């Protein structure tokens, strides 16, 4: 075989082998979706999901369903903005904090003093955020200021400027993130606003949790309950949330205009938020509730979205691709020598 033929064969083999890392890295590089909602204190969307989207008990949840339909409460774990990237006050409008500006969740923004609420006291408190798809990120919890009026639309000015509790990559216990903080003194009805900003993606999640200081006697409204794991599993087939994609739901009319610079890939439409783009829910078993896989209670969040079979699939794929590369190399040599 001539020197030029040898170089051609070597180049062919090199290209074949080069495909190995690309093919292996491609699927693993797709972002695993983070979904969830505050359950202590119970968020509005979680409370209405627990009551049942079709026949909610509280007047507030009934009004929310009337305003935005039932799907928002089957998709209770996805009040998100796909390209937030920390720009929360810039891109979430006043009066739309609880829905994150998404029309689908507009029922959550209804200004009412009778939303199901959780009792809360000043001092140390352990907050819990149910994670149906955990991932790395940071949490910020804000409390409404003295003088907050729940009968008026919630604005950024209603919240304290700084969060009273923060957590980066908090511990996951029994499928929920654990966030500890010291609650300021308040009285009567208030609201805890949470922001979960992923660190491996610009996607962020938002929740509104109505709370009452001073005990049940301080507020005659209904007490909020979090959805049970059984309720979540029973309603999973009605959810349009797909943990195999990146945020969003299957309702194309709810795409939020992106305020970030456009870098649309071929085949996509610039000006729509990737995290809120339409996607189809995969058929099959309900999405599992996140478990606590490690003895210390802290999972490998960066590996979320994989499974125990992932390493074996990667190794098997490498072997198959290497074998294919060898066949290509041999065929090239035969063609050059003939």
Pairing between β-strand 80-81 and β-strand 188-198 as defined by DSSP bridges: unpaired
**pLDDT tens, N- to C-terminus, the chain (338 residues):** 555 555 544 444 444 444 444 333 333 333 334 689 999 999 999 999 999 999 999 999 999 999 999 999 999 999 999 999 999 999 999 999 999 999 999 999 999 999 999 999 999 999 999 998 777 899 999 999 999 999 999 999 999 999 999 999 999 999 999 999 999 999 999 999 999 999 999 999 999 999 999 876 677 789 999 999 999 999 888 988 765 434 443 333 344 433 333 333 333 333 333 333 333 333 333 333 333 333 334 443 433 333 333 333 333 444 434 444 455 445 555 555 55
Residue 241 has a pLDDT of 79
Residue 217 has a pLDDT of 66
Kindly report the pTM of this predicted structure.
0.67
For 317-321, the CB contacts below 8 A with 24+ separation are 317/20, 317/23, 317/24, 318/20, 318/24, 321/16, 321/17, 321/19, 321/20, 321/23
Residue 74 has a pLDDT of 95
Distances (CA, A) of 45 to 3, 16, 64, 105, 287: 69, 50, 9, 9, 18
For residue 85, give the nearest of 246, 254, 199, 165 by alpha carbon.
Answer: 199
> Tens digit of pLDDT for each residue in 303-337?
333 333 333 333 344 443 444 445 544 555 555 55
Give the residue ranges of DSSP H helices in the chain: 3-29, 44-51, 59-68, 71-74, 88-91, 229-234, 310-337
In degrees rounded to 5, what are phi and psi of residue 57? -90, -40
Residue 150 has a pLDDT of 96
Query: In angstroms, rounded to a whole number, what is the distance separating the alpha carbons of residues 53 and 296?
Result: 36
> Tens digit of pLDDT for each residue in 92-138?
999 999 999 999 999 999 999 999 999 999 999 999 999 987 778 99
Distances (CA, A) of 55 to 47, 51, 62, 65: 13, 7, 8, 9
Which residues of 50-187 form beta strands (DSSP E)? 80-81, 118-119, 123-133, 137-143, 165-168, 172-173, 176-183
Cis preceding linkage at 41, omega within 30: yes
Residue 318 has a pLDDT of 42
The answer to whether 191 touches 224, Cβ cutoff 8 Å, is no
The contacts of residue 322 (CB under 8 Å, 6+ apart) are 17, 20
Query: In angstroms, rounded to a whole number, what is the distance separating the alpha carbons of residues 186 and 106?
Result: 27
Residue 219 has a pLDDT of 77
């Amino acid at each position: 075989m001539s020197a030029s033929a040898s170089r051609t064969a070597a180049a062919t083999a090199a290209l074949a082998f080069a495909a190995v890392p690309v093919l292996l890295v491609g699927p693993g590089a797709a972002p695993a979706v983070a979904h969830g909602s505050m359950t202590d204190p119970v968020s509005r969307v979680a409370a209405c999901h627990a009551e049942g989207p079709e026949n909610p008990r509280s007047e507030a949840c009934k009004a929310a369903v009337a305003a935005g339909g039932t799907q928002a409460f089957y998709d209770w774990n996805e009040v998100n903005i796909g390209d937030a990237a920390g720009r929360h006050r810039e891109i979430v409008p006043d009066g739309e904090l609880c829905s994150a500006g998404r029309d689908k969740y507009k029922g959550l923004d209804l200004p009412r003093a009778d939303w199901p609420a959780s009792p809360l006291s000043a001092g140390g408190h352990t907050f819990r955020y149910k994670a149906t798809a955990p991932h790395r990120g940071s949490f910020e919890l804000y409390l409404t200021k003295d003088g907050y009026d729940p009968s008026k639309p919630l604005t950024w000015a209603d919240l304290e400027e700084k969060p009273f509790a923060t957590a980066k990559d908090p511990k996951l216990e029994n499928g929920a993130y654990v966030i500890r903080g010291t609650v300021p003194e308040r009285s009567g009805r208030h609201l805890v606003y949470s922001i979960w900003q992923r660190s491996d993606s610009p996607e962020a999640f938002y929740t509104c949790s109505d709370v009452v200081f001073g005990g049940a006697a301080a507020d005659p409204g209904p007490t909020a309950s979090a959805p049970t794991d059984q309720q979540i599993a029973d309603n999973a087939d009605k959810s349009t949330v797909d943990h195999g994609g990146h945020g969003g739901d299957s309702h194309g009319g709810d795409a939020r205009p992106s305020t970030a610079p456009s870098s649309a890939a071929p085949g996509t439409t610039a000006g729509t938020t990737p995290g809120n783009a339409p996607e189809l829910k995969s058929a099959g078993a309900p999405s599992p509730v996140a478990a606590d896989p490690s003895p210390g209670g802290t999972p490998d969040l960066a590996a979320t979205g994989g499974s125990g079979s992932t390493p074996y699939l990667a190794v098997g794929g490498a072997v198959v691709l290497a074998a294919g590369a060898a066949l290509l190399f041999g065929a090239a040599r035969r063609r050059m020598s003939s």
